[in-house]
Amino acid sequence: MKAMVALIKREYLEHRGAFLYAPLGLLAIFTLAVASALVLNKVRLPFEVGVPSALKLYELGLAFSAALWFVYLMVALFFYYADAFSADRRNNSMFFWKSMPVSDFKVLSSKMLAGMTIFPALIFLAVLATGVVLYLHTMLALAVMPRLAVPGVFEVIATSFRLGLFILVYMGLAVLWYAPYFAWVGALSTVFRRWSIPLAFLIPALVGLLEKLFLPDNGPGAGYFLSFVRQRADFSLDHSDLELAFFSEAPANIGLLLQSLLARIDWPQMAAGLIFAALAVYAASEYRRRVIST
């Protein structure tokens, strides 16, 4: 366990640029951009559709920024796995890691786990930090938009806590849901290094093409395989639930959103995906054990 924690920390040290420094930079740019827009009175809100309360504005802002951070996390994780599984070969440190009393499976598992724990946690912290920045922006907005109602600190904290809880659960489940995709690109990276990125898309496309060529064409339009991949890539929330939560004056009903999220998840698919991910990591570790080219 101690070694696994150390290996995960190693991943953090190696890849903190994408999950710590870059988000901090983006947050700084966002803070300055919105603050300058408010100060320079360049913000145009669609007041004709109703004046939102400052609290609702804050809630919407936090939810919207969380969605953006989530997209950032998914993209960053995809590139992380495409890089991390072959990073030891690239920077010539493979022999060093092989001289440590840890198996290749443990090393690759630590990379897999780092992408599912510490990096989403950092992005979640970025979401919370964005919440603080948004609150400061909301306070600043009062100066230029006096029609906004003043949000209380405790209301903001309560909203952040409720929404933060939902974002945390959503991020955690999403990372588990997409684990097979990440493990897929990671396993490809072990063999093909940077070519894993195009191959991660090309190989499924070829399988779909072969299915079209050789199987009777009585399935879905894109074929059974690609339809499955597309359906498996969907982890969205129900749109009507989202509208109900965020496009009304009342605070978002997080309980209802969580209920909706948990009800929409295909749990057997989730379990199958995690098994696929474990198998992909195992196969990659066996390749790494056998091939030591640096």
Partner 1 sequence: MSETAPLPIVSARGLRKRFGKAEILHGLDFDIPPGRIYGLVGHNGAGKTTTLNALLGLTSYEGTVRVLGQDPYQKRASLMENVAFISDVASLPRFLRVRELFALVSNIHPKFDQARARSFLEGTDVKMDARIKNLSKGMIAQLHLAVVMAIDAKLLVLDEPTLGLDITYRKRFYRRLLEDYMTEERTLLITTHQVDEIEFMLSDIMFMREGELVLHMQMETVSTRYAQVLVDPANVAAARALGPIYAETRFGQTAMVFDGVDRDKLEPFGAVSTPTLSDLFVALMQRTPGAGERQ
Q: Which residues bind partner 1 (CB under 8 A)?
A: 2-3, 5-7, 9-10, 13-14, 91-103, 106, 289-290, 292, 294
Which residue, 14 or 241, has its beta carbon nearer to partner 1?
14
Which residue, 11 or 241, has its beta carbon nearer to partner 1?
11
Which residue, 3 or 205, has its beta carbon nearer to partner 1?
3
Q: Which helix (H) or strand (E) holds 148?
A: none
Give me the helix-helix angle, 239-246 and 54-84, nearest 10°: 140
Kindly state the smallest distance separating residue 7's Cβ from partner 1, in Å.
7
Kindly state the smallest distance separating residue 156's Cβ from partner 1, in Å.
38
Kindly state the smallest distance separating residue 5's Cβ from partner 1, in Å.
7
Question: And the tokens for 67?
Answer: 């969605």
- Helix (DSSP H) and strand (DSSP E) numbers for the chain: 14, 0
Kindly state the smallest distance separating residue 6's Cβ from partner 1, in Å.
3
Question: And the tokens for 228?
Answer: 């499955």
Kindly state the smallest distance separating residue 179's Cβ from partner 1, in Å.
24
- Taking the C-alpha atoms of residue 65 and residue 163, their distance in angstroms, rounded to an integer, is 12
Residue among 245, 24, 17 at smallest CA distance from 133? 24
> In sequence order, what are the residues at sequence separation of 6 or more whose Cβ sits closer than 8 angstroms to the Cβ of residue 6?
none
Question: And the tokens for 246?
Answer: 């965020």
